Amino acid sequence: MTKRSITFYLNGRPVEAYVSPKDTLVDLLRNLDHFGARESCGQGLCGCCTVLVNGTSVSGCLELAELIEGKNLDTIEGLDAGGELSVVQQAFIDAGAFQCGFCTSGFILMVEQLLDENDSPTPDEARDYLSGNLCRCAAYPEILDAVQLAADKRKSLQKEPA
């Protein structure tokens, strides 16, 4: 299959990769040994493949790799830059918001986006925002707890003087 060279930014770093027309972002990431975005349902319904393209969440299993050319691709692997967990990652641990962990990357990236858009989501707003992510272990109550924890923590960090 004909492969093309593309360049893009993966978690902030420029990357050159060879992609075939049928490759999705999940295929591309797998070839680059990034396994945090995972294909599960393959239909963009479960959210296990969630990644950010130019700062916006997309289903990596439904996005053609070639179209990432020149863009920013951010994944769960880039979230703990410098070795420090993000507020949301820590909140997921503190709330016990996962069991098997297969869907966790996707949920965490979606919650990051949610809180960027809305710093005090109500439980209903959180449910609406996260309705495109599924968790077969059904850690939903704990995920909603994590949203609350992370929102509170982010606000308290903002209040602290620099």
Partner 1 sequence: MTTTEVGRSLPRLEARQKVTGHGNYTHNIKLPGMVHAKVFRSTVPHGRILSIDTSDAIALPGVTAVITGQDILKIIPEPYYGPAFHDQPILALDKVRYVGEPVAVVLAEDPRVAAEAAELIFADYEELPAVYDETEAMTSKAIVHDELKPAGTFPDLKHLIGRKDTNIALDFHLKRGDADAAFASAEHVYEHSFQTQQTMHTPFEPLISLAEPGDGRVTIYSASQSPSFARSEVARLLGWPENRVQVKVGHLGGGFGAKLYIKLEALVAALALLVRRPVRLSLSMEEQFYTITKHASTFHIKSAVDKDGRITARKCEVIWNGGAYADIGPRVTQKSGFTATGPYDIESADIDSYALYTNRPPAGALRGFGIPQLVWAYESHTDLIARDLGIDPVEFRRRNILRDGRPHVTGTIMKDAAIDAVLETLAKRMDWDAPFDHGSGTLKRGRGIAIGFKACVSPTTSVASVSVSADGSATLYLSTVDMGQGSDTAMSQIVAEVLAIRTEDVRVINPDTDITPYDMATLGSRSTFHMGNAVRKAAEHAREQLLEMAEKVGLPKKNTLNVPEIFRHAYGMQAGTVIGVGTYIPTYASPDKDGLSDNVTPFWMIGGTGVEVEVDTETGQIKLLKMVNAADMGNPLNPRIVETQLSGAAIMQLGFTVSEEMILDGGQVTNASLADYKIPGIRDIPPHIENHIVEAYTHDGPFGAKGVGESATFGVSPAVAEAIHDACGVRLTKLPMTAEVLYKALHGEQE
Partner 2 sequence: MTYEILKPETLQDAFGLLDTDDPMVRPFSGGTALMLMMKSGIFSPSRLVVLRDIPGLNGIRLEEDGSLWIGALTTLAELEKSDLVAQHAPVVTHALRHLSNRRVRNVARIGGALAHGDPHMDLPPLLSALNAEVIVEGSNQGRRISVQDLVTGYYETSLESNELIVAVRIPSQQSWQSAYRKFTARSADDWPALGVAVSLNASRNEIQDLRLVVGAATERPTRLEQSEGILRQEGRSGLERATEAAMASVEFMDDAHGSSQWKKALLRVELRRAVQEILDRNT
Residues that bind partner 2 (CB under 8 A): 1-2, 20-22, 24, 42-45, 47, 50, 56-59, 61-64, 66-67, 110, 113, 128-133
- Smaller CB separation from partner 2, 131 or 156: 131
- Smallest distance, partner 2 to C-beta of residue 93, A: 24
Report the residue number, 22 or 136, with the smaller CB distance to partner 2.
22
Q: How many residues does the chain have?
A: 162
User: What count of other Cβ atoms lies within 10 Å of the Cβ of residue 28?
Assistant: 27
Q: How far is CA 67 from the centre of its chain?
A: 18
Do 24 and 48 contact (CB within 8 A), yes or no? no
List residues binding partner 1 (CB under 8 A).
1, 22, 34-38, 40-43, 45-46, 48, 75-77, 79-80, 85, 89-90, 92-94, 96, 98-105, 108, 123, 127-128, 130-131, 133-144
User: For tokens 């903002």, what's the residue?
Assistant: 158
Query: Is the CB of 56 or the CB of 120 nearer to partner 2?
Result: 56
- Would you state the structure tokens that stand for residue 96, as one six-digit string? 């016990």
User: Measured from the CB atom, is 143 or 161 closer to partner 1?
Assistant: 143
| Cβ at position 129, least distance to partner 1 in Å | 9
Task: For residue 46, give both structure tokens.
Answer: 């479960």
Query: Is residue 88 a contact partner of residue 50, using CB atoms and an 8 Å limit?
Result: no
Selection from partner 1, partner 2, none that 58 binds (CB < 5 to 8 A by kind) is partner 2
Q: How far apart are CA 137 and CA 24, in angstroms?
A: 26
For residue 52, count other CB atoms closer than 10 A to its CB: 21
CB closer to partner 2, 68 vs 95: 68
